[in-house]
A and B are shown apart, each in its own frame.
Chain A
Amino acid sequence: MKPRHRRLGIAAGVIATIGAATALVLNAFQSNLVFFYSPSQIAAGQVPAGRTFRVGGLVAVGSVKRDGLAVGFVVTDTATSVPVRYQGVLPDLFKEGKGVVAQGRWRDGMFEASQVLAKHDENYMPPEAAEALRRAAQSRGPAAPFTEPGR
């Protein structure tokens, strides 16, 4: 092989590898993005059916009901609430009246969570939960000024 051909071959190989890797990465990226919706958006029917997404807000006080491994609670953004169902152990910082983020699907008027996240600091509001509260407060208009709890 002539040196020129050889170099061309190496360049082509590198470009092909980079191209394939990029395609792979972008494809995986596209199909694994998890979007966030607030309880109000869910109530307004903005959630695509059958897709995994995240919902965030506060755990409504008095809403947690445990039955063996199954647990049900209500997530609220102070304007709207959605019921959530979950199987298994809740994180340490899961508490009524505190921020929470759940990941899962919407099914039969209920959010089926595959994962419940609460962050490891009592003062720290999960960003998604804070966002849901902010949006709800905004939609109520300036009449009800709202500060993010925990900040």
Chain B
Amino acid sequence: MIPELGHFLLWLALGVALVLGILPLAGAARSRAAWMALARPAAYLLFVLVALSFACLTASFVRHDFSVLYVASHSNSALPLPYRVAAVWGGHEGSLLLWLLMLCAWMVAVARFSRHLPLPVLARTLAVMGLVGVGFLLFTLTTSNPFERLFPASADGQDLNPLLQDPGMVFHPPLLYMGYVGFSVAFAFAIAALIGGNLDATWARWTRPWTSVAWMFLTLGIALGSWWAYYELGWGGWWFWDPVENASFMPWLTGTALIHSLAVTEKRGSFKSWTALLAILAFSLSLLGTFLVRSGVLSSVHAFATDPRRGLFILAFLTVTVGASLALYAWRAPRVGLGARFALVSRESMLLCNNVLLLAAAGAVLLGTLYPLMLDALALGKISVGPPYFESVFMPLMSLTVFLMGIGPLARWKQAELPDLARRLRWAAGVAIAVALAAGSLAGRVSLVATLGLWMAFWIAASLATDLWETVWPAGGALAELPHRLAQVPRARWGMMLAHLGVAFFCFGVVMVKTYELERDVKMELGDSTTVGGYTFVFKGVREAAGPNYTALQGLIEIRRGDRRLPDMRPEKRVYRVQQNPMTEAAIATGLTRDLYVSLGEPVGGGAWIVRVYVKPFIDWIWGGCLMMALGGLLAASDRRYRARRRSEQVEPAALAPGTSA
């Protein structure tokens, strides 16, 4: 009964979503307060329905109900409980349901925390999100029903893909989806503002914290995915420019551009229509990303041919969403008007450059991801676009972005002077060069590219220090005022600094790994040893070990550095019982300045194995940097100005009279 109940709840949810998507919007157009007031309770109700439906699917997984097709194909009676719960989003249908649940959660958050919003704005925003929900509910119900029964019921399930049986699976998809779906809030605000014709600084202030929080989730989700790939795939990479990764990276790049352009719109009232366009783009790319990953089009474009309904629905949904929002944009945006003027050198122009560069990067990723799919779909041959393409595009684009990142925060709004900027930043640039050279020679080899990369990292850090110094101890300021001035720095500013410092950490980690990483594949017999980067790895043989639903061969590797013995490492080769796939489980010794990474290759007879050994300097700084970026986003979103002064910023409902609305 439980699956039927879940299915039924989804149909109810569709009804509620339709009401939510239509009535408040009509109410806002006709100024009917009662219709608009429906938005909030409808959003709550929708959340409850979808959450219960999600709970039904989870219950089917927990109770091993193999009469449900989706459960039978993604779970197994030996699968441990946490992975049974995570298996809910282990496939296409369940991921869609998770997406919906997240959408509803964001709706509830908007309904709950935006009490200060004028009713028409809130009604329109929730209605737009409701319409997105209608699209996803229709998609789920017509083409991807997770509650479909299997007759006769399967005796046992086909198990979750072994690669997904990992704590990463429990956290990575929900975080990523929170980010993806979070951009729907910025999108809905933008659409609501376009309909209402009130695209202004107040709108930017409402949108900003939501966007920062969504961006934070997306950053965490991507970072966690990268870390997971690093330790799970067994060959030590942390980013592969795989289409699945690119699908999440495009919304991130656009979202990053969006948070920066929102800053200009809020502070200076400029870039208004541009910001709205970015909000639409970021969400459209989130949708594209969801579908790219979940439709199976990546493994084969011909998956479309085997189930044309899904493919057609996806294309239609994307076309309607993107087309309708862009049409609305084309119709409304020209009336928005320009904001305050700014000079050729100013913080505005710096942020504009940031936007152009980030979007160029997103465009490059889009090209590299979609072009092979297009060629294949049109039967024009098969090609692949590998990491060399993305790297040769990203190096120059990101170098320029990072360079400007050191200058932008110090440039004044409206008009800045180049000589003045150069004077204020000369120390930062010099110190960064010196430290970069020093770091290179400490690591043992000074190369041009590495020095440039390291300079970037230290340049950001040094310019941040300069910025902070000037703020808390301005020329002629007294030392005694320092604590007071420190306390005066708003949280949004700290957030920006922390996020930028995160980028510095990230760059540092990337450059160190790329330049100074050591890798060796060796054939090892019992007792053989190899020395990489000053660490000696001694192979002590392989023994059998058993897990809950797999058997493993576990290698034992002793590690020495000079005379010092470090903890042993135990890489594994696992075979999961149901799917019978071998899987490499690397052993990693994490450290602040380096990771040791050992994985078992294959046995080559006589007890000898091929063993892969890496020494990866500073690799954890990459994810540490991402964590700092995410925390920075959270800090910025929690700034006081988004919570205080609610009463005073209320827009008079008269400004939204029927004459200006659709």
CB neighbours (8 Å) of A25 from chain B are: 360, 363-364, 367, 393
Closest beta carbon of chain B to A20's beta carbon, Å: 9
A10 in contact with B352 given A21-B397, A32-B389, A34-B385 (CB within 8 Å):
yes
CB interface residues, B 516-543, toward A, < 8 Å: 521-523
Chain B hits for A3, CB < 8 A: 341
Query: Which B residues from 591 to 615 make CB contacts under 8 A with A?
Result: 599, 601-602, 604, 610, 612
Is B581 an interface residue, CB under 8 A from the partner?
A: yes
**In the complex the two chains form, what is the Cα distance from A117 to B396 in whole Å?**
29
**Is A143 part of the binding interface, using a Cβ–Cβ cutoff of 8 Å?**
no
In angstroms, how far is the closest chain A Cβ from the Cβ of B273?
Answer: 15
Asked if A96 lies at the interface with its beta carbon under 8 angstroms from chain B, I say: no
Asked if residues A122 and B382 are in contact (CB atoms below 8 Å), the reply is no
Partner of A9, one of B344, B367, B392, B579: B344
Scan A116-129; emit 1 where CB is below 8 A from any B CB, else 0. 00011110100110
Asked if residues B382 and A128 are in contact (CB atoms below 8 Å), the reply is yes
Would you call B300 an interface residue if the criterion is a C-beta within 8 Å of the partner chain's C-beta atoms? yes
10 nearest CB pairs, A to B:
A89-B601, A32-B389, A21-B360, A36-B382, A28-B392, A25-B364, A32-B388, A88-B521, A92-B582, A34-B384
Contacts of B341 in A (CB 8 A): 3, 6
Query: In chain A, residues 1-47, which have Cβ atoms closer than 8 Å to a Cβ of chain B?
Result: 1, 3, 6, 9-10, 13-14, 17-18, 21-22, 24-25, 28-29, 32-36
Instruction: Let me know if A144 is at the binding interface, CB within 8 A.
Output: no
Q: Determine whether the beta carbon of B360 is less than 8 Å from that of A18.
A: yes
Contact B610 A89 (CB under 8 A): yes
B327-358, CB under 8 A of A: which get 1 and which 0?
Answer: 00000000000000101100001001100110
A29 touches B601 (CB 8 A): no
B231 CB, min distance to chain A CBs, angstroms: 15
Binary contact track B351-393/A, C-beta < 8 Å → 1, others 0: 0110011001001100110010000100001111110110011
* Shortest distance between the CB of A129 and any CB in chain B (Å): 11
A128 to B300, CA, bound (A): 9
**Least distance between A101 CB and chain B CB atoms (Å):** 9
Query: Is B584 an interface residue when CB atoms closer than 8 A count as contact?
Result: yes
> With a CB–CB cut-off of 8 A, which chain B residues contact A10?
344, 349, 352
Q: Chain B residues with Cβ under 8 A from A105's Cβ?
A: none
Q: Which of B210-267 contact A (CB under 8 A)?
A: 234-235
Cβ-defined partner of A89 (8 Å) among B381, B396, B521: B521
Closest to A101 in B: B384
Which residues in chain A, 96-131, are within 8 Å of chain B measured between CB atoms?
A: 103, 119-122, 124, 127-128, 130-131
Which among B356, B367, B376 is the interface contact of A14 at CB below 8 angstroms?
B356
Supply 17 A–B pairs (Cβ within 8 Å), ascending by A.
A10-B344, A18-B356, A18-B360, A25-B363, A25-B367, A32-B385, A32-B388, A33-B385, A35-B382, A36-B384, A54-B382, A66-B602, A68-B523, A89-B601, A93-B582, A120-B161, A122-B580
**Could you tell me if A69 and B234 are in contact, using CB atoms closer than 8 angstroms?**
no
Q: Complex: how many Å from CA A130 to CA B343?
A: 57
Q: For B584, list chain A residues within 8 Å (CB).
A: 92
- A13 with B344: CB separation less than 8 A: yes
Distance (Å) between the CB of A117 and the closest chain B CB? 10
Nearest A residue (CB) for B575: A92
Task: Give per-residue flags for B559-583: 1 if the beta carbon is below 8 A from chain A beta carbons, else 0.
Answer: 0000000000000000000011111
| Minimal Cβ-Cβ distance residue in B for A151 | B306
Residues of chain A with a CB closer than 8 A to B300's CB: 127, 130
Distance (Å) between the CB of B659 and the closest chain A CB? 31
For the complex formed, measure the closest distance between the CB of A21 and the CB atoms of chain B, giving whole angstroms. Answer: 4
A48 CB to closest chain B CB (Å) equals 13
Nearest chain B CB to A132's CB is how many angstroms away?
A: 9
Write the chain B residue with the least CB distance to A125: B300
Contact check, A34 vs B364: say whether CB atoms are below 8 A apart. no
B429 interface hit (Cβ, 8 Å): no
Contact, CB under 8 Å: B604 / A68? yes
* B163 on the A face (CB < 8 A): yes
Q: Report Cα–Cα, A21/B353, bound state, in Å.
A: 12
Q: Which residues of A contact B397 (CB under 8 A)?
A: 21, 24
Please give the distance in Å from B469's CB to the nearest CB on chain A. 30
B142 contacts A by Cβ under 8 Å: no
Task: Verify A69–B610 contact, CB threshold 8 A.
Answer: yes
Which A residues are in CB contact (< 8 Å) with B392? 28, 32
Closest to A35 in B: B383
Interface check B299, CB cutoff 8 A: yes
Give min CB distance, B249 to chain A, whole Å.
15
Q: Report the minimal beta-carbon distance from B528 to chain A, rounded to whole angstroms.
A: 12
Chain A residue, CB-CB nearest to B163 = A120
Q: Are A29 and B344 in contact, with the CB atoms below 8 A? A: no
A79 CB within 8 Å of chain B? no
Q: Name the CB-closest residue of A to B519.
A: A88
A90 within 8 Å of B (CB atoms): yes
Chain B residue at smallest Cβ distance from A33: B383
In the complex, the chain B residue whose C-beta lies closest to that of A27 is B392
CA separation between A3 and B343, bound complex, in Å? 8
- Across-interface contacts of B356 in A (CB, < 8 A): 14, 17-18, 21
A131 touches B601 (CB 8 A): no
Cβ–Cβ < 8 Å partners of A103 in chain B: 384, 386
A89, B383: Cβ atoms closer than 8 Å: no
Least CB separation from B389: chain A residue: A32
Is the beta-carbon distance between A90 and B601 smaller than 8 angstroms? Answer: yes
Q: Residues of B contacting A93 with CB < 8 Å?
A: 581-582
Complex contact A6–B343 (CB within 8 A): yes
Q: Which residues of B contact A54 (CB under 8 A)?
A: 382, 384
- Known A-B contacts A21-B357, A25-B367, A93-B582; A121 and B396 likewise in contact (beta carbons under 8 Å): no
In the bound complex, residues from chain A placing their C-beta under 8 Å from that of B384 are 33-34, 36, 54, 103
Min Cβ gap B294→A in Å is: 16
Instruction: Give the complex CA separation of A131 and B364 in angstroms.
Output: 27
Shortest Cβ distance from A7 into B: residue: B341
Complexed CA–CA distance, A25 and B368 (Å): 9
* Min C-beta distance of B208 to chain A, whole Å: 24
Q: Which residues of A contact B396 (CB under 8 A)?
A: 24
Partner of B383, one of A9, A36, A120: A36
Q: A10-B349, A69-B610, A127-B300 are in contact. List 4 more A-B contacts (CB 8 A).
A: A34-B384, A66-B604, A88-B601, A127-B299
* Pair B381/A35 contact, Cβ less than 8 Å: yes
- Judge whether B352 and A92 touch: CB under 8 Å: no
Residues of chain A contacted by B583 (CB below 8 angstroms)? 92
Min CB–CB distance B603 → chain A (angstroms)? 10
CA A36 to CA B383, docked complex, whole Å: 6
A residues within 8 A CB of B388? 28, 32
In whole angstroms, what is the CA distance A130 to B360 when docked? 34
Q: Which residues of A contact B364 (CB under 8 A)?
A: 21, 25, 28-29
Chain B hits for A35, CB < 8 A? 381-383
Residue of A nearest to B382 (CB): A36
Q: Which residues of B contact A127 (CB under 8 A)?
A: 299-300, 376, 382
Which chain A residue shows the least CB distance to B400? A17
User: Which chain B residues numbered 431 to 446 have a C-beta less than 8 Å away from chain A?
Assistant: none
Instruction: Determine the distance from Cα of A87 to Cα of B520 in the docked complex, in whole angstroms.
Output: 11
Bound-state Cα–Cα, A69 to B371, Å:
36
Q: How far is the CB of B397 from chain A (nearest CB, A)?
A: 6
* CB–CB A34/B386 < 8 A: yes
**Complex CA distance for A18 and B584, rounded to whole angstroms:** 44
